[in-house]
Amino acid sequence: MQTLNSILNHSHSGLRWLVLLFLVLSIANAFTAKSFEKKHKMINLFALISVHLQLVIGLFQYFLSDKVQFIDAWMKNPLLRFYGMEHLVGMLLAITLITIGYSKAKRRENYTDKYKAIRIFYTLGLIIILLFIPWPFRSILGGGWF
């Protein structure tokens, strides 16, 4: 079980960088591109797929990790509260916003409207993701770079 937990943890931490890369590329395209080409659509799709894959791995971790424990006074423990509630709720909100943004962009006809949806929803999703990642400099959370 410890090996599976380690694999999931490293996968989840490593995939974070791909998620951030695809989101930044999608947002940068939404601000700078002059047309909506297939390559732009694919970057947006890869961002969407990567956050959903991250969700699946994260849900496995949620149910298998020892960092999620619903014991007495778990809300008073910053580590248990973060992994048991704050991280999950924040990331679900971010993934929902990104999914809505992709769906709205897909239905729009005009490329400026497509990019407007990506700019708004992907940027909000990225901000929320950055806020709820257990960064190493947040020492109480015990997160790593990978």
Chain segment 12-53, per-residue pLDDT in tens: 989 999 999 999 999 999 999 888 889 999 999 999 999 999
**Is 87 within a domain?**
yes
> Which residues form the domain of 15?
2-141
pTM: 0.90
The three-state DSSP-derived secondary structure of 18-59 is HHHHHHHHHHHHHHHCCCCCHHHHHHHHHHHHHHHHHHHHHH
Q: Give tens-digit pLDDT for 86-134.
A: 999 999 999 999 999 999 999 999 989 999 999 999 999 999 999 999 8
**Is 146 within a domain?**
no
**Is 89 within a domain?**
yes
Q: Residue for token digits 């930044």?
A: 24
How would you class 44 by CB atoms within 10 Å of its CB: exposed for 0-12, middle for 13-18, buried for 19 or more? buried
What total of structural domains would you count in the chain? 1
pLDDT cut 70: percent of the chain above it = 94
**Is 123 within a domain?**
yes
What Rg value do the Cα atoms of the chain yield, rounded?
17
**Is 96 within a domain?**
yes
Q: Residue for token digits 């806020």?
A: 131
